[in-house]
Amino acid sequence: MRKRDFGAFVNHLAASCELFVPLDVGGMTLFSAIDSSDTCNGLGLENTTALPKRPLKELFFPQEEVLFAFDAGGGIETTEDTSAQPGGGVSPSGVVRVALGVRPCDARSLTILDLVFDAADYKDPYYVSRRRRTALVTFACSEPGMACFCTSVGGGPFDETGSDVVCADGGEEYVMWPLSAAGEGLLEGFAALREAGEEELEAVRKARAAAEARLAGNSVPVEKAVSKLGGAFDRPEWDDVHRKCLGCAACTYLCPTCHCFDIGDEATRTGGERVRNWDSCMFPLFTLHASGHNPRPSRKERFRQRIMHKFNYFVENHGTAACVGCGRCVENCPVNLDVRKVLEVFAAL
d(CA 79, CA 77): 6
At residue 48, the pLDDT reads 42
Q: Are 43 and 22 in contact (CB under 8 A)?
A: yes
d(CA 102, CA 14): 16
At residue 93, the pLDDT reads 59
Tell me the residue type at 37: S
φ/ψ of 342, rounded to 5, equals -65, -45
d(CA 345, CA 41): 44
Positions of the chain with pLDDT under 50: 46-48, 86
At residue 86, the pLDDT reads 47
Q: Are 112 and 259 in contact (CB under 8 A)?
A: no
Q: Which residues of 320-337 are buried (b: 16+ CB within 10 A; e: fewer)?
A: bbbbbbbbbbbbebeeeb
Q: Are 106 and 328 in contact (CB under 8 A)?
A: no
pTM: 0.93
Tens digits of per-residue pLDDT, 168-214?
Answer: 988 889 999 999 999 999 999 999 999 999 999 999 999 999 999 99
First to last CA, the chain: 50
d(CA 347, CA 224): 5
d(CA 258, CA 253): 7
d(CA 205, CA 228): 36
At residue 315, the pLDDT reads 98
CB atoms inside a 10 Å sphere around CB 285: 9
In sequence order, what are the beta bridge partners of 176? 167
